[in-house]
Amino acid sequence: MIYCGVDIGASSIEIVLFDGAQIIGSIVTSSGTSPIENGRRAFQRALETAELRPEDVAATVATGYGRNYFEGAERSCSEIICHARGVSYLFPSACTVIDIGGQDSKLIEMDGSGRPVDFVMNDRCAAGTGRFIEMTGNVVGIPVASMNESVSPDGGHVDISSMCAVFAESEIIGLLQGGCKPQIILNGVFRAVARRTMSMAGRAKIRREVVFTGGVAKIRGVALALQKETGIEMLIPHNPQITGALGAAIIASEKASPTF
């Protein structure tokens, strides 16, 4: 039996196909200006890549911002539950999830069985998200895809005093005009994102093992900055963007009704 998880977020769409024991296919694509239509296309492309037909899928669960609008899903589920379930499948002893995506960031505390017991989320401000890093890259001339090759974590950093994305942009432009190197500015932004993530923890506790997910987890400098802030090594999945969709696919396979 094949099960599908669909995660429609503000910046990206993830599709995971799961056979009840392992991932048999996954796709990550941009949400674009029509996330519902792009989600439908990504679902079809995932099936074609795996040489499957829609009728081969026994159940589909949707999650993310667009979860209630994906017509192919039998049901939807909270992204907090789905991320926790997906991370627990990949790292059974995980106790904390730090997820930083394009438009929001989440910190999820889990019990020993992969069930979320508390969480905090930043989805109202671009600071501390992938959008903040992307904006900085555009200003300093280093795109996100090139940051791992262009920025050395040991290359020094500058403190970014403003944690408002709008004011930080002006601060970054001023640093550039003052002769500060783009790589040093980006290291400062990575540290600022890490500090912002830790400051929002609130009630949710950060306990080992900590798994870092989301598109921002692909940026080495952010992972290292988080490790420095927490004193804990970050565990990063091979594909850190698909954990929410994977959790949705696992829930589809269990035909359960988790609540939080």
Where exactly are the structural domains of the chain? 1-91+241-260, 93-236
Per-residue pLDDT of the chain (260 residues; tens, 9 = 90+): 999 999 999 899 999 999 999 999 999 999 999 998 999 999 999 999 999 999 999 999 999 999 998 988 999 999 999 999 999 999 999 999 999 999 899 999 999 888 999 999 887 777 789 999 999 999 999 999 999 999 998 889 999 987 777 788 899 999 999 999 999 999 999 999 999 888 877 667 788 999 999 999 999 999 999 999 999 999 999 999 999 999 999 999 997 444 43
Torsion angle of the four alpha carbons 216, 42, 49, 62, in this order, in degrees rounded to the nearest 10: 80
Q: Which residues contact 60 (CB under 8 A, 6 or more apart)?
A: 3, 4, 5, 6, 70, 72, 73, 74, 252
> Do strands 23-30 and 12-18 pair parallel, antiparallel, or not at all (unpaired)?
antiparallel
- Look up residue 124 and give its DSSP letter: S
Pick the closest to residue 7 from 93, 92, 106, 94 (CA basis): 106
Instruction: Please give the structure tokens belonging to residue 70.
Output: 């994906």
CA 47 to chain centre: 23
CATH match for 93-236 among 3.30.420.40, 3.60.15.10, 3.90.320.10, 1.10.10.10: 3.30.420.40
> DSSP for 163-190?
-SHHHHHHHHHHHHHTT--HHHHHHHHH
Same fold, 1-91+241-260 and 93-236: yes
Domain 1-91+241-260: give its CATH code: 3.30.420.40
